[in-house]
Structure 1
Amino acid sequence: MSATAAGARPRSAGFRLTGTGLMLRFLLRRTWARLLVWPAVVVGMTAVVVAYYKSEFDTPEALAERAVLSNSAGMKAIFGHITSTGLGGGVWSEMWMFTAVMLAIGLIFLLTRTNRADEEHGRTELLLARPIATTSGLVASVAWLTLLCVVAVAGAAVVCGAYGLEWTGSWIMGASLGGVGLTGVAVAALANQLTVTSRDANGLALGILAVFYLLRTIGDLKGNALTWLSPIGWGERMDPWGHDRWWPLVLIVALGIVCITLAIGFQLRRDYGAGLVRSRPGPVGSAGFATTESGLTIRLDLGAAIAWVAGMALWGILLGSTLTDMNHPHLDGRRPRLDHRHGRRRPQDPPTHPRPPSLHQHPAPRRQPLDGHPDRHHSHRRSAPRLRAVGLPPPGHPSVTPETGPDRDGRPPAGGVP
């Protein structure tokens, strides 16, 4: 085993870019499919949401009603605060928060896969056998993922502008998406230097992103300055098609530069295969269950499973809290339309398709039979199936006379009716 693999500190003359071009080509050949997925997802989701809003909310009144719902407490906690009540504001409230956070999560996993995971499995040691600088892999990964954010920004902006939205707001919306994605890249680059395993690196980066999201949520609900402590809040405060602010993007870029610079400095000073935060040693012995394959799997994945279940439960609580906002008085005129699509109608709502007045105000006259007895004609027709079901002969049977009724066998009673 080499000295580097044994944990010796690598001799580095400082920050260099030797072999970065080779690493760029290697990462492109290895992860080109994954690099194409996220721009395609962002652009495709933007196109679907914009097309849906243009066809569904086609009047200013409908967009105003949607804006009232979007600024309720539950929706504000999930999707953020908006000021625009037009088509752009509806598109932003529908897709921005979800798309931006998912982009950041995807880039966190991508950067960890090409850095800490390769170092954990020994692939980085094979690459360092060539004349490649220690930091070339991290620099190449950050470069490709930053370019991915730029492509997603341009694609989302072009789609919004092509559907008729204002171009200034379209570019700001795309830039805010890319800014949150860049935040995920920066946080992941720093977390990869602090931890030893790729599992811990992903967990730490996702935890930091969750703290940013929580600060943004509390700040929006309370209306205080906590939103400005979160990079997600900075992207939200760019407010496309509203105030159209560009300057919060400067804060996001500055934070990304600081985190990536710290990550490069930490990688130059730490040991290969180690992290700045020393991993906690496990127990000397283990239970019998942990020595089996299923026990080891549960032991390794239990923490991640609990975190995902807790996150989904919290997400469900937030979504459930928005149901009470559906009773807003400004949305009363729109409820029957939304419910009618699912084949349901609320009891308190008026009928969607009322019956014509002629059907219940002017009933048709009863048809008169030839014998002049309408009651006998219709009652015999209606009662015959019921009487046969219980074993009684229908009216008009020879065993039935006006003076005596039939018995269970269809014969008149001997004594008649008293």
Structure 2
Amino acid sequence: MNGTLTLVRLALRRDRVLLPVWIVVIAGLVTVSASAIAELYPHAGQRIALGVTIGATPALQALTGPVFDAASVGGLTAWRATTMASALAALMSILVVTRHTRAEEETGRAELLGSCVVGRQAVPAAAVAVAVTANAVITLLITVGLAGQGLPAAGALAFGAAVGGTGWVFTGVALAAAQLTTHARTASALACATLGLAFLLRALGDAAKAEALAWSSPLGWAQRVRAFAGERWWVIALFAVTALALVAAAALLARRRDLGAGLLPPRPGRPDARASLAGPVALAWRLQRGGLLGWAVGFAIAGTLFGALAHSLGDLVADNPHMAALLARMGGTDALTDAFLTAELSVLALVAGGYAVQATLRLRGEESALRAESVLATAVTRRRWSLSHLALALGGSALIMSVGGLSAGLAHGLRIGRPAGQAARMLGAALLQVPATWTLAGIAMLLFGLLPRLTALAWAALVAFALLAQLGELLQLDDAVMNLSPFSHVPQTLGRPVDAGPLLGLLLVTAALLAAGIVAFQRRDLQQE
């Protein structure tokens, strides 16, 4: 463990910008949600009516979880923000641990550190210490932020501990994943896939009221801490014990492998490349096909889940004549179902934006690893090389949105007896979301061309757009602020005429961003990390 504190300081120095941003965004999300709920639902009767609606709608519970105390502002805040804040804390922990463990080995820096007076376990111990501390700070800020608004201190602490505890668990998940593979990207993908599975188990458990299924997910544990609704403090201990067990398992796995290697050895390639591998497009496809397949499978599962839940919205009006009369004026239950499906497509589009950013920034990864230099030393031009990866980013985001739309349409159509018609309808609606995801690829490309060391700002833009989409209406933000997000310019309701103007505008903006990024890349020197 020699040198752990020094490596902690080094990690904090390297993450001096991104880590505070993560912490402030996650804690601020919870605090702002509580303030907005208190303003929008000032009376207990209003909050109880909302709680009844939530309890009668499995689709809402699948997205955000059950509400345990609708009468209080704290209970509604826990319902609205626990899953989102916990998932963000988990994602932050995954990225921090992978960056300071597997990525260090992949680039060779861990080997250089090992030649000094640094213990073998110092590198992973420093990464775990940074992630655990960051989650502890999030816990503290959430507690102070909620208690400062007059909410019960015990509930505020339980809420913060639930979010931070989820981050602790996925710190262990990421550390274990880093022992399995030789590449940081694959380790992050494995940990993120585990997070996706945790969300799916929680969503299915809450929608079907299957407690055993919900308890199988750390995100389900965060809900069942029951902040502001009779806190269950022993669940916090469950987070801590699970995190310690995962870290201990990762330490045992680390002893069974060599530095730089993984327990799952990479599959050896062919001695000679296939003819189909000739050219930069084929190379980009070979590098990104595994990730694209994983994203497509995830979107198929998510789309199927959303489509299957959409039909259950009819239960909302089964015993509520006032709601039935209101929906009849809006167009009936079909209008409510369309609104739900449109909202879920918007969520999938935000996630697809993550794929677009990841696929575009593969250019930066190849450049930092010095592999781009070898490719560009041949007859391949910078423009052709960048366009090859952009083709995967743009085409891949359109593909996974199509998969998500088709899956949702088929699942919903099978429940109502019109699978073909609903599949075509949802496919068209999903494709309308694609221009917004392409805009994120354009932002990533512009940063890669102009400011390659600041490409992480593309992820910051995605987080900002997601927060605007999820909290913009709740916070009653001005239209000028909402319009900063490209996702606010796509159609928000199925079954209505589509105005092509905003979509064409997004395409023009994307083309300008991509062109500017390519030109800037052609005029700068190649850079290392």
Q: TM-score, normalised by structure 1?
A: 0.72
Correspondence for 2:233 among 246, 249, 268: 246
- Are the equivalent residues in 2 in contact too, given 1:82–1:89 (CA < 8 A)? yes
5 Å matches for 1:70-109?
70-71=54-55, 72-85=57-70, 86-109=72-95
When residues 258 and 266 of structure 1 are mapped into structure 2, their CA distance, relative to the original with a 3 A threshold, is same
Q: Aligned-pair distance for 1:59?
A: 1.8
When residues 68 and 295 of structure 1 are mapped into structure 2, their CA distance, relative to the original with a 3 A threshold, is farther
5 Å matches for 1:158-169?
158-169=144-155
The residue number in structure 2 matching 1:325 is 313
5 Å matches for 1:282-361?
282-312=269-299, 314-315=301-302, 321=309, 325=313, 327-328=316-317, 330=320, 332=322, 346=330
Distance in 2, matches of 1:104 and 1:348, equals: 39
Distance in 1, matches of 2:41 and 2:325, equals: 14
Distance in 1, matches of 2:322 and 2:73, equals: 21
- Are the equivalent residues in 2 in contact too, given 1:119–1:125 (CA < 8 A)? yes
5 Å matches for 1:253-264?
253-264=240-251
Once the two structures are superposed, what CA deviation does each residue of 1:311-364 show, in whole Å capped at 9, x if it has no partner? 34554565564586385365946997xx9xxxxx72679xxxxxxxxxxxxxxx
Q: Aligned-pair distance for 1:109?
A: 1.6
Moved more, 33-42 or 323-332: 323-332
5 Å matches for 1:206-245?
206-220=192-206, 221-245=208-232
2:45 equivalent to 1:61: yes
1:75 aligned partner, one-letter code: L
5 Å matches for 1:356-395?
none
- Are the equivalent residues in 1 in contact too, given 2:225–2:233 (CA < 8 A)? yes
Q: Aligned-pair distance for 1:175?
A: 0.5
Once the two structures are superposed, what CA deviation does each residue of 1:170-190 show, in whole Å capped at 9, x if it has no partner? 111111001111111110001
When residues 39 and 309 of structure 1 are mapped into structure 2, their CA distance, relative to the original with a 3 A threshold, is same
- Are the equivalent residues in 1 in contact too, given 2:168–2:243 (CA < 8 A)? yes
- Are the equivalent residues in 2 in contact too, given 1:69–1:325 (CA < 8 A)? no
Q: Which of these two proteins has the greater Rg computed from alpha carbons?
A: 1
Give the 3-state SS of the residue equivalent to 2:255 in structure 1.
helix
Moved more, 261-270 or 250-259: 261-270
Give the 3-state SS of the residue equivalent to 2:215 in structure 1.
helix
Q: Aligned-pair distance for 1:137?
A: 0.8
The residue number in structure 2 matching 1:186 is 172
Q: Aligned-pair distance for 1:217?
A: 2.8
- Are the equivalent residues in 1 in contact too, given 2:86–2:222 (CA < 8 A)? no
Q: Aligned-pair distance for 1:106?
A: 2.2
Give the 3-state SS of the residue equivalent to 2:16 in structure 1.
helix
2:63 aligned partner, one-letter code: I
The residue number in structure 2 matching 1:271 is 258
Higher relative contact order (CA 8 A, sep 6+): 1
Sequence identity percentage = 29
The residue number in structure 1 matching 2:365 is none
Distance in 2, matches of 1:118 and 1:63, equals: 49
1:291 aligned partner, one-letter code: A
Q: Aligned-pair distance for 1:282?
A: 2.7
- Are the equivalent residues in 2 in contact too, given 1:134–1:268 (CA < 8 A)? no
Moved more, 238-247 or 86-95: 86-95
More helix as a share of residues: 2
Q: Aligned-pair distance for 1:229?
A: 2.4
Moved more, 60-69 or 249-258: 60-69
Correspondence for 2:140 among 154, 175, 195: 154
- Are the equivalent residues in 1 in contact too, given 2:177–2:187 (CA < 8 A)? yes
1:255 aligned partner, one-letter code: T
Distance in 2, matches of 1:207 and 1:347, equals: 39
Distance in 1, matches of 2:84 and 2:325, equals: 25
Give the 3-state SS of the residue equivalent to 1:279 in structure 2.
coil
- Are the equivalent residues in 2 in contact too, given 1:115–1:137 (CA < 8 A)? yes
Distance in 2, matches of 1:187 and 1:51, equals: 33
- Structure 2: state its 5+ residue gaps: 334-529
1:84 aligned partner, one-letter code: D
Once the two structures are superposed, what CA deviation does each residue of 1:145-172 show, in whole Å capped at 9, x if it has no partner? 1010011011111111112222111111
When residues 180 and 66 of structure 1 are mapped into structure 2, their CA distance, relative to the original with a 3 A threshold, is same
Once the two structures are superposed, what CA deviation does each residue of 1:183-241 show, in whole Å capped at 9, x if it has no partner? 11110001101111112211221222233333323333242422222222222211111
Q: TM-score, normalised by structure 2?
A: 0.57
2:123 equivalent to 1:141: no
Correspondence for 2:109 among 123, 126, 129: 123
2:22 equivalent to 1:34: no
Distance in 1, matches of 2:143 and 2:2, equals: 36
The residue number in structure 2 matching 1:50 is 34
Distance in 2, matches of 1:181 and 1:348, equals: 42
When residues 19 and 175 of structure 1 are mapped into structure 2, their CA distance, relative to the original with a 3 A threshold, is same
When residues 325 and 124 of structure 1 are mapped into structure 2, their CA distance, relative to the original with a 3 A threshold, is same
Distance in 2, matches of 1:306 and 1:62, equals: 45
Moved more, 212-221 or 108-117: 212-221
Distance in 1, matches of 2:137 and 2:322, equals: 42
Moved more, 140-149 or 310-319: 310-319
Q: Aligned-pair distance for 1:122?
A: 0.8
Aligned length: 326
- Are the equivalent residues in 2 in contact too, given 1:38–1:152 (CA < 8 A)? no
Moved more, 302-311 or 72-81: 302-311
- Structure 1: state its 5+ residue gaps: 1-16, 340-344, 350-418
Once the two structures are superposed, what CA deviation does each residue of 1:85-121 show, in whole Å capped at 9, x if it has no partner? 1212221121111221122122112211111011011
Distance in 2, matches of 1:92 and 1:318, equals: 23
- Are the equivalent residues in 2 in contact too, given 1:135–1:268 (CA < 8 A)? no
Distance in 1, matches of 2:321 and 2:119, equals: 61
